A and B are shown apart, each in its own frame.
Chain A
Amino acid sequence: GAGVSQSPRYKVAKRGQDVALRCDPISGHVSLFWYQQALGQGPEFLTYFQNEAQLDKSGLPSDRFFAERPEGSVSTLKIQRTQQEDSAVYLCASSAGLAGVYEQYFGPGTRLTVT
């Protein structure tokens, strides 16, 4: 069956450019998470959606980061005016559960390099 997909897999942006990262969760999964993972570190929580509602955006590092999931399925993470410190792998995960901590399934990630 189809897992979580993300696109693009790799993105190189010049400092100051805007980027948009897409996530297609597993069909029917109501919960969607975005994480940022730096080399040699565990994933860091960015934001959480339950269907189309963004219930938690406490992990977004700055107001340059914005995420949406307008129809409760596909999600987009947008980074405006990219900076070098934004270089990382951005992971999307989905989960079938509405409440309680259910297993999260990850996409392959988007590796963002800001030059």
Chain B
Amino acid sequence: QKEVEQNSGPLSVPEGAIASLNCTYSDRGSQSFFWYRQYSGKSPELIMFIYSNGDKEDGRFTAQLNKASQYVSLLIRDSQPSDSATYLCAVNGKGSNYQLIWGAGTKLIIKP
């Protein structure tokens, strides 16, 4: 089992709909969770981070964390074609306070 798992996709969503991206992690001790967006040929850029159970909203983005289920998700409301990218989930792991363990990413395609 990989330490951080994501469905590779592609996930195809119509423009204006809600895109839901999921991530599961194996280390129960993980405390910090990050979502990054990576356009093709570019470097990852931070979208959101979440540390506490529940929802955290920032504009069109909502991160959801459920530590009991070891599950973190990212919702994108009113999806736009510019949201088409690979979304990477990263989790602090191995009892580390600095090292991030990364999923392989989910490719999201927003269809006009």
A binds B: yes
Q: Which residues of A come within 8 Å of B, CB atoms?
A: 31, 33, 40-45, 48, 50, 55-56, 91, 95, 97, 99-101, 103-109
Instruction: Name which of A43, A44, A105, A108 has the most chain B CB atoms within 10 A of its CB.
Output: A43
Q: Is A31 a contact of B98 with CB atoms below 8 Å?
A: yes
* Bound CA–CA A103/B98 (angstroms): 10
Q: How far is the CB of A99 from chain B (nearest CB, A)?
A: 5
Q: Given A42-B90, A106-B45, does the pair A100, B97 have CB atoms closer than 8 Å?
A: yes
Q: Is B105 a contact of A42 with CB atoms below 8 Å?
A: yes
Q: Is B46 a contact of A104 with CB atoms below 8 Å?
A: yes
Q: How far is the CB of B32 from chain A (nearest CB, A)?
A: 4
Q: Given A99-B98, A101-B31, does the pair A106, B43 have CB atoms closer than 8 Å?
A: yes
Q: Is B46 a contact of A103 with CB atoms below 8 Å?
A: yes
Q: Given A42-B88, A99-B97, A101-B32, does the pair A109, B102 have CB atoms closer than 8 Å?
A: no
Which residues 1-60 in B have Cβ within 8 Å of A in the complex?
4, 8, 31-32, 34, 42-46, 49
Q: A45-B99, A48-B98, A108-B43 are in contact. List 6 more A-B contacts (CB 8 A).
A: A99-B97, A100-B97, A101-B32, A104-B34, A104-B100, A106-B43
* Bound CA–CA A107/B46 (angstroms): 12
- The answer, yes or no, to whether B104 is at the interface (CB within 8 Å) is yes
* Bound CA–CA A55/B34 (angstroms): 22
Q: Is A106 a contact of B99 with CB atoms below 8 Å?
A: no
- The answer, yes or no, to whether B92 is at the interface (CB within 8 Å) is yes
Residue of A nearest to B32 (CB): A101
Query: Which chain B residues border A99 with CB–CB below 8 Å?
Result: 97-98
Contact with A along B70-89 (1 / 0, CB 8 A): 00000000000000000010
Query: Which chain A residues border B44 with CB–CB below 8 Å?
Result: 43, 91, 106
Q: Is A45 a contact of B46 with CB atoms below 8 Å?
A: no
Q: Is A48 a contact of B99 with CB atoms below 8 Å?
A: yes
Query: Which chain B residues border A43 with CB–CB below 8 Å?
Result: 44, 88, 102
